[in-house]
Chains A and B, each alone.
Chain A
Amino acid sequence: MFSGMTELRHKYLRHHKKFPHVWCPGCGNGIVLGAFIRAIERLELEKDEIVFAAGIGCSGRMPTYVDFNTLHTTHGRALTFATGIKLAKPSLHVIAVMGDGDAVAIGGNHFIHAARRNLDLTAIIINNQIYGMTGGQASPTTPYGAHSTTSAFSNIEHAFSIAELAVAAGASFVARGTVYHAAQLDKLIEKGISKNGFSVVEVMSNCHVQFGRRNKMSDPVTMLNWLKEHAVSKDNGSSLPPDSLDDKFTIGILADVDKPDYIEEYKKIRQKAKRD
C-alpha cells in the first residue's frame, strides 16, 4: 500500500541531521525529491541497496537529505562515479540526479556516453533552464531570447532538448515530466529505475528566483502555470496543429527499448576471457 507523504518523509529523510535544506521557498527540487521517494517506496527497495549520487549545483545537495548511500561528486561527473559503483557492485540500484548545467554542459560528454554505453543506471535531470546556485547564469537549456545574468540583453544561443538528446544517444528509457505534473513524475521515475539499461527522466522545473525574476515569472505559481501550459502529453501531441507546438515540450515516455545492458554483456566477456 502507498503510504502518506508524512510517513514517507519520516522513513526516508535524514530529518534529524541535515535540515533545513538549502533550497529557496517554492523550489521545484522538493517536488522532484518527493516523487523520487514515492517511486522508491513503490519499488520496495531496501535503503542499503540504493546509491543516490549527484553533481554540483542546487540539485547536487539533494542526496544529503535522504537516507541512502549518498554521494555528492564533482561538477558534471555524477554519472562517471555512478558507472564505477555499478560495475563494482551490480546489485546496487544507482541513481544520479543532476541539473541542466551539470548534465549537459560540463557533464555533457559523460551523459551521452552513459546513454550510448547502456549501463543500468538512472539519471534524473532537473531542468530549470538556468544555473541557480551560482546566481542565474545562462545554461545550455536557457531558451533563446531569455534573460540571465550572463545574457542580460538576450540569450543568443539555442537550447538543448535533453530528453531528445538522450534518445538520440541511445538511452534505453527516456521520459520527460514536470514538477507541475507531480503525480505523473513519480511513475516516470519508478519506470526509469525498474528499467534494465540506461534510463533518463528529464524533469522540467521552476527556478523563479534566478530564472523567473528575469523573465517575467517571479513567483513559483506563475512558473508552474507556465510548465502546465507548455507541456504537451506525448499521447496528445500529434493531434494538435504543428504551429501550436512551436514553444511546447513533450511529456511522457519518449523511448522504451530493450537491449542488453553493459553488465550482461560484460559477463559474456569474462566467460570468453577465461576460455582464452
Chain B
Amino acid sequence: MAHEMNGRKFLLQGNEAMAEGAIAAGCRFFAGYPITPASEISERMSYRLPQVDGTFIQMEDEIASLGAVIGASLAGVKSMTATSGPGFSLMQENLGYACMTEVPCVVVNVMRGGPSTGLPTSPSQGDVLQARWGTHGDHPVIVLAVSSVSECFSITVTAFNLSEKYRVPVVMLSDEVVAHSRETYTIPSADSIEVVDRIIPNVPPEWYKPYEDNSRGVPPMAAMGDGYRHHITGLVHDAYGFPTEKQDEIETFLKRQFRKITNGFFEIQITKKINIEDAEIAVIAYGSVARSARRAVAMARAHGIKAGLVQLVTLFPFPKNSVVNVMRQCRAVLVPEMNMGQISREVKRVNTGLTEVSKYNRIDGQLITPLEIFEELQKL
C-alpha cells in the first residue's frame, strides 16, 4: 500500500476518514482502547501511524488512553484518542486535566445508545451535554459534530487546528451511522489542507512563563525537553504553573480560560446553511440527522414548502448568532435529535420569543429518516 494518500480516491468509512483527517492535520500519536462503534479509528491508526513515523499504542483502558494522549501532546506531538459512550465517561477526569493545563488534544466520541452499555451497535446523540459538561468544574470546551465521511476528514482537521490554536481539548461527536457509512472520498492534496500548529515560545527559557496572559489569552506552549523546564499541574496555578490559592490569581486564571474561547467565537462557531435565504421554516440539526434533514428540506422544497437547514458543526460554544438569525427569519424551527432534546434546550434558551421551536426525538436506536423530518416539516 502506498503511504501517500493525498489526491487519491477511496471508499472510506467515517471512522477511517477520521483517522486520515487526523494524520493530514499532523496527528502523530494515538492511544486508544477497543470499543464499538469506534474501534476502526484505532485499527486504522495502528496501521497508518507507523507508516508516517507516528506512534500508536493500545492502552489498558480509556483513562490511560487520554492520559497518554495528554502526555504525548506535552512532549510536542499532536495527539488523539477515540472512544464511545462508556469510554467517554471514563475519560472525563483527564479531559478536565487537559482543560486545566491547556493541553491541545482531540477526543472522538462515536455516540451509541446509552446510558450504560446501552446499544453498542446503534446510533444515538445522547452524549451531547456530557461532551459539554461531563468533566467536573466550570470550564469552556469546544464540541464539534460530523455528519458525513467528507466531514469526518475535514472537521477532524478543523478540530486539531482549533485545539492547537486555543490550547483546549476538542471533543468530536460522531455517531454509529456516520462512523460505519461508506462513501467515496478523495483525500485533498496536502497543500490544500490548512494545518495550524501551536505557538511555541520565542523568549529565552529564563523569561518563559507558561501560563502568562496575553491579548489572545492563549500562552505559547513549550514542549517538554526543549529547554523550557516548568511545572504542570491540575491544581489551579499561577503564571509560572505553580499551585496557587491566591484569590486574584485563581479568578484571573479561570476567567482567561473562558475569554480565550469567547475571543474566538468568530471562527470556532461553525454552521452550514442550506436553502436558508428565503426559508420560512428551518431545521436545526447536527450529525447524521443533519444528513437526513438535508434530504427532507429538498423534499419539502419539491412540495412548495420554503424550508431551510442550519447544520450545527460546532455544538459548543453554542453558535447562538447563527441560530438566532434563522429564528428571526423563520416562523418555526424544528430540532430533530436522537435524544430527548439536548440541543433543542439550547435552541429554546436563545429563543427570546422570536419563533416557535418544535422538537422531534427518537431514542429507539434507529436513525431519523428524511421522510420523518419531511412529515414534521409539513406540520409546521
Which A residues fall within an 8 A CB radius of B? 17-18, 47-49, 51, 63-64, 67-74, 77, 80-89, 91-92, 109-110, 113, 266, 269-270, 272-274, 276
Name 13 A/B residue pairs within 8 A (Cβ), A-sorted.
Answer: A48-B225, A64-B243, A73-B97, A74-B93, A80-B59, A80-B66, A83-B68, A83-B71, A84-B31, A84-B69, A85-B72, A85-B74, A88-B29
| Cβ A72 vs Cβ B50 within 8 A | no
Q: Give min CB distance, A174 to chain B, whole Å.
A: 19
- Residues from chain B with a CB closer than 8 A to the CB of A109 are 60-61, 64
Interface bin, chain B: 35 or more
Partner of A274, one of B3, B73, B234: B3
Which of B29, B75, B231 meets A92, CB within 8 Å? B75
What is the bound-complex CA distance between A68 and B229, given in angstroms? 6
Q: How far is the CA of A92 from the CA of B55 in the complex (A)?
A: 16
B71 engages A84 (CB within 8 Å): yes
Does residue B186 face the partner (Cβ distance < 8 Å to A)? no
Query: What separation, in Å, do the CA atoms of A188 and B18 have in the docked complex?
Result: 45
Q: Which residues of chain B from 9 to 48 have a CB within 8 Å of any chain A CB? A: 28-29, 31, 47
Residue B235 lies at the interface, judged by CB distance under 8 Å to chain A: yes
B196 at the interface (CB under 8 A from A): no
In the complex, the answer to whether A85 meets B235 with C-beta atoms within 8 Å is no
Q: A83 and B57 in contact (CB under 8 A), knowing A77-B63, A89-B224? A: yes
Contact A72/B235 with A83-B64, A110-B64 known, Cβ cut-off 8 Å: yes
Which residues of A sit under 8 angstroms from B240, Cβ to Cβ?
17
Residues of B within 8 A of A17 (CB): 240, 242
Query: Cβ of A84 and Cβ of B72 under 8 Å apart?
Result: yes
B binding-site residues for A, Cβ under 8 Å: 1, 3, 28-29, 31, 47, 50-51, 53, 55, 57, 59-61, 63-77, 79, 93-94, 97, 223-227, 229-235, 240, 242-243
Closest CB-CB distance, B42 to chain A, in whole Å? 15
| A81→B50 contact, CB < 8 A | no
Contacts of A51 in B (CB 8 A): 224-225
| Minimum distance in angstroms from B51 CB to a CB of chain A | 5
CB within 8 A of A89: which of B31, B57, B76?
Answer: B76
12 additional contacts (CB under 8 A) given A69-B224, A73-B67: A17-B242, A48-B229, A63-B231, A83-B71, A84-B67, A84-B69, A84-B71, A87-B57, A89-B77, A92-B75, A273-B47, A273-B51
Q: Which of A49, A64, A74 contacts B231 (CB 8 A)?
A: A64
A88 adjacent to B94 (CB under 8 Å): no
Say whether A77 contacts B50, CB under 8 Å. Answer: no
- Smallest CB gap from B74: residue in A: A85
Instruction: Please name all residues of chain B whose beta carbon is closer than 8 Å to the beta carbon of A68 when the two chains form the complex.
Output: 229
Cβ–Cβ contact A84 & B50, under 8 A: no
Contact A113 B93 (CB under 8 A): no
Interchain CA distance A276-B72 in the complex, whole Å: 26
Is B63's CB under 8 angstroms from A80's CB? yes
How far is A83 from B229 in the complex, measured between Cα atoms in Å?
A: 19
Q: Which residues of A contact B57 (CB under 8 A)?
A: 83, 87
Assembled-state Cα–Cα distance A48/B222 (Å): 12
Given contacts A51-B224, A69-B224, contact A84 B79 (CB under 8 A): yes
- Min CB gap B223→A, angstroms: 7
- Min CB distance, B113 to chain A, in Å? 27
Inter-chain contacts of B72 with A (CB < 8 A): 84-85, 87-88
CA gap between A67 and B51 in the complex, in Å: 36
CB B314 to nearest CB in A, in angstroms, measures 27
Give the Cβ gap from A177 to chain B, nearest Cβ, in Å: 27
What's the Cα separation between A86 and B94 when bound, in Å? 18
**What's the nearest-Cβ distance from chain A to residue B183, in Å?**
25
Query: B74 contacts A84, CB within 8 Å?
Result: yes
Query: Which of chain B's residues has its CB closest to A49's CB?
Result: B225
Q: Are A88 and B67 interface neighbours, CB within 8 A? A: no
CA distance A74 to B63 in the complex (A): 10
Asked if B55 and A70 make an inter-chain contact with CB atoms under 8 angstroms apart, the answer reads: no
Q: Which of chain B's residues have a CB closer than 8 A to the CB of A48?
A: 225-227, 229
Cβ of A80 and Cβ of B68 under 8 Å apart? yes
B54's nearest neighbour on chain A, judged by CB, is A270
Which of A17, A49, A81 is the most central at the interface, judged by chain B CB atoms within 10 Å of its CB? A81
Least Cβ distance of A269 to chain B in Å? Answer: 5
